């Protein structure tokens, strides 16, 4: 029986037992998560550096008439500027999200989930970097926002990555796809 199981590739029973072919696939998904996260983080960080250097204390730049402009704004609160007195809490939430994603990555065998979690991780790291390193001080820093659509809140690329990752997670959940690659038809 053991010989038959080794021929057909059935894994041995254990907590983390995965078929040998699944281990490289899982590593590729983790690599995809990291590539997406690093790309989202670097795009956010680079855009904020340009905004602070070139746009801060300058008039807004109209991109598409009155519909879209770039305007440097420091946001100490959460989305839409709410909760400015809770900056330290938002910092802790971002740090917790990062830890959860890193822990979840060990069981990741789905490319769409890798992309979604990579977007969340990159966005959370982008805004956490602002919270730690920008004034007025460590864990109280204001996030640099600059994308200002008409009749909407000003946001940044980290916020965009977080929202896109969140939407993707909702869609994957509705489709019944789990991070480990299993599909549920409920």
Residues with a known catalytic role: 145, 159
CA nearest to 81, candidates 162, 161, 154: 154
Separation of alpha carbons 128 and 168, rounded Å: 21
CA nearest to 139, candidates 105, 97, 89, 96: 89
Task: Confirm if 126 and 45 have CB atoms less than 8 A apart.
Answer: yes
CA-based angle 39:23:119, to the nearest 5? 20
How close are the terminal C-alpha atoms of the chain, in Å? Answer: 35
């Amino acid at each position: 029986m053991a010989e038959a199981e080794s021929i057909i590739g059935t894994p041995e029973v254990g907590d983390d037992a995965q078929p040998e072919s699944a281990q490289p696939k899982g590593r590729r998904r983790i690599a995809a998560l990291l590539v997406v996260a690093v790309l989202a983080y670097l795009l956010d960080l680079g855009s904020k550096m340009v905004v602070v250097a070139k746009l801060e204390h300058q008039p807004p730049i109209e991109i598409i008439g009155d519909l879209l402009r770039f305007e440097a704004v420091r946001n100490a609160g959460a989305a839409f500027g709410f909760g400015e007195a809770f900056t330290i809490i938002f910092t802790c939430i971002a740090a917790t999200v990062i830890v959860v994603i890193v822990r979840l990555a060990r069981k990741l065998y789905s490319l769409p989930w890798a992309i979604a979690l990579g977007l969340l991780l990159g966005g959370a790291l982008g805004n956490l970097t602002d919270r730690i390193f920008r004034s007025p001080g460590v864990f109280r820093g204001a996030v640099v926002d600059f994308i200002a659509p008409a009749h909407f809140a000003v946001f940044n690329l980290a916020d965009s990555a977080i929202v896109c990752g969140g939407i993707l997670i909702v869609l994957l959940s509705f489709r019944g796809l789990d991070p480990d690659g299993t599909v549920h038809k409920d």
